[in-house]
Amino acid sequence: MNPYEDMRIFAQVMEAGSFTAAAERLGLSKQFVSRRVMQLEARLGVRLLNRSTRRLDATPLGERYYQNGLRLLGEVQLLEQDISGQTLELRGTLRLSAPLSFAIAHLGCLLTEFLQCHPGVDVEVDLSDRAVDLIGEGYDLALRIGTLEDSSLVARRIAAVERVYCASPGYLAARGTPQVPAQLRGHDCLPYGHARQVQWQFKGEGKASSIAVSGRMRANNGEMLRDAAVAGMGITYLPTFIIGEALEQGRLVPVLEDWTLPALQLSAVYPQHRQVARPVQVFVAFLRERLARL
């Protein structure tokens, strides 16, 4: 009997959602994992999981055991790191998910620098604008831009992300420069996403407002929208990490500057059991330092 190991196995079952998936992560057989969980329940004298042919659901006591177990597992890991010495070389694989456009603009050079500083670390990167299931898909860390949903994930603020309404000088010379959001109804706009009707949000004159915008092109890629705006196809609304260079070069110019919303937050989010993992800790601190002036 190894209570620590049983706790670790149970935590993996909870996070993976099945005995089969947990066994694959642990490198064990499904039968062994199932038997250990049953033995854990027998030792505690309670049912931790409700089993069906389709899924596993934690009982209230199972959820309580899982949450407190994560804390204890984290404390054990932290203690071992402290005893073994924090100066030991960082090792392990960091599975990371990040937004595509942001990663292309910033993450490539930063990951190279991080890996050069820590030769014992491997990184697996998934570039996607979707909100991945960190626990279910086995990610250690995800970078997300915008308001975070309430969840059991740990979130750390990395940097602020400014957004700008902008268009090319040629477009504005031909169509006029909007002074208030309502004037966008007479303009071609280049919205992000595939929704048939897109609402752009504004804040000015002490109040918030929204305007339905439309145009001849919409896309779920910021670089494509930036290039269309530079070509004079309309007004777009994008983060400065995509349009910053075009603004500096004068190929795009800001509009409606008095109506821009506050900056979004770039955050690192990770499961509770990963918050004491040294690769996660060190990488988050590295990003906070390097992206402080994003």
The domain that holds 135 is classified in CATH as 3.40.190.10
What pLDDT does residue 213 have?
92
Give the pLDDT band of residue 174 (cuts 50, 70, 90): very high
DSSP letters, 185-234, are: GGS-EE-BSS-SSEEEEEEETTEEEEEEE--S--BS-HHHHHHHHHTTS-
DSSP letters, 89-127, are: PP-EEEEEEE-HHHIIIIIHHHHHHHHHH-TTEEEEEEE
Shared domain for 283 and 139, answered yes or no, is yes
Shared domain for 150 and 272, answered yes or no, is yes
Residue 100 confidence (pLDDT) above 80 = yes
What pLDDT does residue 189 have?
95
Residue 183 confidence (pLDDT) above 80 = yes
Contact 13, 49 (CB under 8 A): yes
- Distance between start and end Cα atoms, the chain: 51
Give the pLDDT band of residue 234 (cuts 50, 70, 90): very high
Residue with tokens 């960091």: 94
Least confident of 74-78, 123-127, 162-166, 267-271: 74-78
| Domain span at 277 | 92-156+266-292
Contact 146, 265 (CB under 8 A): yes
Report yes or no on whether pTM surpasses 0.75: no
Least confident of 147-151, 176-180, 198-202: 147-151
Residue 135 confidence (pLDDT) above 80 = no
Shared domain for 10 and 48, answered yes or no, is yes
| Average pLDDT of the residues of the chain | 87
Total structural domains in the chain?
Answer: 3
Instruction: Kindly state the average pLDDT of the residues 177-181.
Output: 94
Shared domain for 210 and 194, answered yes or no, is yes
Instruction: Kindly state the average pLDDT of the residues 248-275.
Output: 89
Residue 62 confidence (pLDDT) above 70 = yes
Residue 143 confidence (pLDDT) above 80 = yes
> What percent of the chain has pLDDT above 90?
40
Which residues, at least 6 apart from 101, have a Cβ–Cβ distance to it below 8 Å?
129, 221, 222, 223, 239, 241, 242
What pLDDT does residue 15 have?
79
What pLDDT does residue 169 have?
97
What are the angstrom distances between the C-alpha of 239 and each of 248, 259, 274? 14, 15, 29
Shared domain for 193 and 254, answered yes or no, is yes
Shared domain for 168 and 258, answered yes or no, is yes
Q: Which of 84, 100, 131 represents a domain boundary (last residue)?
A: 84
Shared domain for 33 and 77, answered yes or no, is yes
What pLDDT does residue 68 have?
83
Residue 276 confidence (pLDDT) above 80 = no
Question: Collapsing DSSP states into helix, strand and coil, what is residue 50?
Answer: strand
Give the pLDDT band of residue 80 (cuts 50, 70, 90): low
**Under the phi-then-psi rule, with left for phi > 0, alpha for psi from -120 to 50, and beta for the rest, what region is 17?**
left
Residue 222 confidence (pLDDT) above 70 = yes
CA distance 77 to 85: 12
Burial of 44 (0-12, 13-18, 19+ CB in 10 A): middle
CA distance 2 to 8: 10
